Amino acid sequence: MFKIKNATGGYGKTTIIRDVSIHVNAAEIVALLGRNGVGKSTLMRYATGLIKATSGSIEIAGETAPPSPAKRARLGLGYVPQGRFVFPRMSVTENIAVAAASNGFDAKKSVAAILEDFPLLQPKANDLAGGLSGGQQQVLALARALATRPKILLLDEPTEGVQPSIIDEMAGVLKRINEEHKIAILVAEQNLDFCLSISERAYVMEKGTIRMETDRDSLRADKELQQELLGV
């Protein structure tokens, strides 16, 4: 359903990721794990078209993705970057409406549907996004991405700086969205417990490459591997 094939790229003359290939099946949640600095965020940006590719390709729902990030979004690629990047001077409702409208969906209907899925945002609907807590902003960034009705959703460090109660709520929302709307999800994370709670399968990155692919039960049971590759 979603494939990254032989991805090599980076910033300027510096190569960060080398010959990376991964896939996410339809309606599957897959974790991308690894310590800080191994290339997880770079791979996400490669997938969205935000950095120049040296080689490799992206496939979304059987189609080769065009170079433009905007065209990839219209093809069904949703993205929540590390650091959230909500529109701080817009309200929660406006953040969601803009995302929906940019992909050709009815803004009013989209806002209503998204707020139903995210009860935490309902009392904040008319508040400026910049005034929300870090956790609330992360939930809004996720809600905004889902307003584009993606086929595949990429999440980059969604639990960073978020309090445990909101992390638990986020995990519940992702599992429900995945089950009800059949959205495939690739989540780049260092929070192993969060990933194990939502994903069945994982790739582990090390030094810009995929060190291994594993299933949830194997990873959970191998404490030595967790310490070696993830530092947990």
Mean pLDDT to the nearest integer, 123-132: 95
140 close to 88: Cβ distance less than 8 angstroms: no
* Structure confidence at residue 103 (pLDDT): 87
Cα separation, 196 vs 193, whole angstroms: 5
- Say if residue 108's pLDDT is above 80: yes
Query: What pLDDT was estimated at residue 15?
Result: 94
Q: Note whether 1 and 26 are within 8 A (CB).
A: yes
pLDDT at 99: 93
Strands 2-11, 14-24: pairing is: antiparallel
Positive or negative, the CA dihedral 49, 56, 14, 201 is positive
Whether the per-residue pLDDT at 150 is higher than 90: the answer is yes
For residue 3, pLDDT over 90 is answered with yes
What type of residue sits at position 10? G
Q: How many domains does the chain have?
A: 1
| Residue 190: predicted pLDDT | 87
Give the list of residues 6+ apart from residue 213 with CB closer than 8 angstroms, or none: 22, 201, 202, 203, 204
Q: Provide the token pair at 94.
A: 């406006």
Tell me what percent of the residues of the chain surpass a pLDDT of 70: 99
Other residues' Cβ atoms within 10 Å of the Cβ of residue 95:
23
Supply the range of the domain harboring residue 86. Answer: 2-230
Mean pLDDT to the nearest integer, 90-113: 94
Instruction: Provide the token pair at 93.
Output: 């409702």
Tokens of 222: 């191998």
Average pLDDT of the residues in 5-14: 93
- What is the structure's pLDDT at 82? 84
Residue 7 near residue 180, CB atoms below 8 Å: no
Of 92-106, 164-178, 202-216, the one with minimum mean pLDDT is 164-178
What tokens were used for 9? 């790229």
Task: For the beta carbon of residue 165, count every other beta carbon within 10 angstroms.
Answer: 10
Mean pLDDT over residues 100-110, rounded? 92
* pLDDT band, residue 226 (cuts 50/70/90): confident
104 to 74, 122, 141, 147, 212: CA distances (angstroms): 9, 23, 19, 10, 39
Name the average pLDDT for the chain.
Answer: 92
Task: For residue 165, name the pLDDT band (cuts at 50, 70, 90).
Answer: confident
pLDDT attached to residue 7: 96
Q: What pLDDT sits at residue 232?
A: 57
CATH of the domain at 105: 3.40.50.300
